[in-house]
Amino acid sequence: MKKLMGVGLAAGFAVAALASAASANQVLILRDPSGIIPAGTHLTATSHNLVTVTSAGNIECETDELEQIVLTNSAVNDKGTTQAGMSRNFGNFGKYIGTPAACYTSAVGPAIITTSNYPWREEFTSKGYVTKGTKRVVFTSEFLALQPPNKCTFEDAKILSTYVPGPKGSPLPLKLVTAGAKFKLNKSIPGTALACPKEGTLGGTWTVEDASGIVESELFP
């Protein structure tokens, strides 16, 4: 399992106050500095403010990344996928109290976040961004300062995020905003700590790049 960003998806991405009132027949185009992004391109979304809020305290991750592969572009709904074993499956690349890839918690010291249920499916539309797991999107937090059982596993069917695409001819940087994404505790998972909260709420902002630079989006026509 990959070392992960803030859990319960402290947002996972989240609520969907849809970002655009565009009509359903508009085509969404993803671009980078070299032009329209072709299928097969790897995108990396990066957050520096990912926070999961729970009744037992917050989980904050310094730098989190999610990699995906573009499957379709220049369609009404552009699609991507995140596969198991990719180099950046919601990986946390921060360091808390000398522990590589650990996130900060306000209650019990460093936590390692992992994700599962790949492949995940991503979809960009004129109205927002959706991430769906295989059945569910799953995040597990392991609290290193506690003796086992010391894990909390949160899950939901999908994560909804928003962004603002640019109009034709004026693409805008692809900035994904997750806010209020709720994940429920699965207490049937072996190793679950007795003190796990019943849910977590994920929030954060993501910028998106590929090998050529910043990814932008625009609606056409």
H, E, C per residue of the chain: CCEECCCCCCECCCCCCCCCCCCCCCEEEEEECCEECCCCCEEEEEECCEEEEECCEEEEECCEEEEEEECCCCECCEEEEECCCCCCCCEECCEECCEECCEEECCCCCEEEEEECCCEEEEECCCCEEEEEEEEEEEEEEECCCCCCCEEEEEEEEEEEECCCECCCCCEECEEEEEEEEEEECCCCCCECCCCCCEEEEEEEEEEEECCEECEEEEEC
pLDDT computed for residue 168 by the predictor: 94
Low-confidence ranges of the chain (pLDDT < 50): 1-23
Q: How far is the CA of 25 from the CAs of 48, 54, 161, in angstroms? A: 34, 40, 21
Can you give the residue range of the structural domain that contains 11?
3-220
pTM comes to 0.84
- Structural domains counted in the chain: 1
pLDDT computed for residue 23 by the predictor: 47
